[in-house]
């Protein structure tokens, strides 16, 4: 196994959807960099909204990480699907970290929200995208799970939080007294998404045939 994984790095790297990730990352950086481009200060609340929009844009790109036209051709390799998915995530993780650092630095310091808390929000959005894509790979034979995964992310990560009661609010401002409690909920949401992702890494159970087995006398 240890000898096989290094041999997979280059082939897996080449099959990653870099154009989609690049477009999503560029959209996010453009969102956070516009005020600097025009020489204006966005304000704390607007800057927080920019970072949240940038995180969502990149997470939507990550939803397409597992799209693989050769999925069925690579299924018989000895490493297993979970290893290949984990390798894809490991290859993209440093790029995502550098991208998010750039997004944070594009926001002027006085207007930048608490970096740790907003990074938790961004990490949760990315984890939800990966969990949705991995679950789609496990449940279906579609070599392009990105579209349903992106749809699921929009529903669970955007629409659902907007509909929850105020006492469970997730999108609050740093000055809001609910900020700390909201990010405790973000942490639980991140843990749940990570658990779904890990549990979905395994090979799907083989479908049993619906045809009844013949009896001992061929009946």
Euclidean distance between CA atoms 45 and 172, whole angstroms: 10
Q: Is residue 205 one of the residues assigned to a domain? A: no
**What's the confidence (pLDDT) of residue 213?**
46
Q: How many domains does the chain have?
A: 1
The three-point CA angle 147-90-134 to 5° equals 35
User: pLDDT per position in the chain (219 positions), as tens?
Assistant: 555 677 788 888 988 999 999 999 999 999 998 877 776 777 888 999 999 999 999 999 999 999 987 665 554 555 677 888 999 999 999 999 999 999 999 998 888 999 999 999 999 999 999 999 999 998 888 889 999 999 999 988 778 877 888 888 999 999 999 999 999 999 999 999 999 999 999 776 554 433 444 545 543
Closest C-alpha to 65, from 94, 80, 82, 85: 85
- pLDDT for the residue 44: 85
What is the 3-class SS of 72-105, one letter each residue? HHHCCCCCCHHHHHHHHHHHHHHHHHHHHHHHHH
Which of 160, 98, 99, 167 lies closest to 132 in space, CA to CA? Answer: 160
Strands (E), the chain: none
Residue 20 lies in a domain: yes
Residue keyed to tokens 């990315």: 126
**What pLDDT score does 146 carry?**
93
Residue pair 126/100 in contact (Cβ under 8 Å)? The answer is no
- Within-domain flag for 211: no
How far apart CA 124 and CA 168 sit, in angstroms, is 16
Judge whether 99 lies within some domain.
yes
Of 100, 78, 97, nearest to 89 (Cα)? 97
Predicted local confidence at residue 57, as pLDDT: 96
143 with 121: CB under 8 angstroms? no
Residue 210 confidence (pLDDT): 39
The whole-angstrom separation of Cα 182 and Cα 160 is 14
Whether residue 61 is contained in a domain is answered as yes
| Position 124 in a domain | yes
User: What pLDDT, on a 0 to 100 scale, did the predictor assign at position 78?
Assistant: 58
- Please check whether residue 16 lies inside any domain of the structure: yes
What is the chain's alpha carbon radius of gyration, rounded to the nearest angstrom?
21
Residues in the chain: 219
* pLDDT on residue 167: 85
The pTM (predicted TM-score) of the whole model is 0.86
**Residue 138's domain spans which residues?**
4-199
Q: In the prediction, which pLDDT does 178 show?
A: 94
Q: Is residue 212 part of a domain?
A: no
Taken in order 92, 84, 75, 211, is the CA torsion positive or negative? negative
């Amino acid at each position: 196994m240890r000898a096989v994984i290094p041999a997979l790095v280059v082939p897996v790297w080449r099959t990653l959807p870099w154009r989609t990730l690049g477009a999503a990352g560029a959209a996010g950086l453009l969102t956070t960099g516009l005020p600097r481009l025009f020489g204006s200060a966005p304000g704390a609340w607007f800057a927080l909204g920019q970072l949240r929009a940038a995180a969502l844009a990149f997470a939507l790109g990550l939803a397409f990480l597992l799209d693989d036209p050769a999925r069925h051709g690579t299924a018989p390799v000895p490493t297993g699907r979970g290893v290949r998915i984990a390798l894809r995530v490991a290859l993209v993780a440093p790029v995502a970290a550098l991208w998010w650092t750039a997004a944070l630095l594009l926001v002027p310091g006085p207007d930048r929200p608490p970096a740790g808390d907003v990074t938790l929000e961004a990490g949760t959005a990315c984890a939800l995208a990966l969990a949705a894509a991995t679950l789609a790979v496990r449940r279906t034979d579609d070599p392009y799970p990105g579209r349903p995964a992106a749809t699921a992310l929009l529903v669970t990560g955007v629409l659902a939080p907007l509909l929850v009661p105020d006492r469970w609010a997730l999108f609050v401002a740093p000055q809001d007294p609910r900020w700390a409690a909201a990010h405790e909920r973000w942490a639980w949401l991140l843990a749940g998404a990570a658990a779904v992702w890990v549990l979905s890494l395994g090979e799907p159970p083989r479908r049993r045939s619906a045809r009844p087995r013949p009896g001992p006398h061929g009946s």
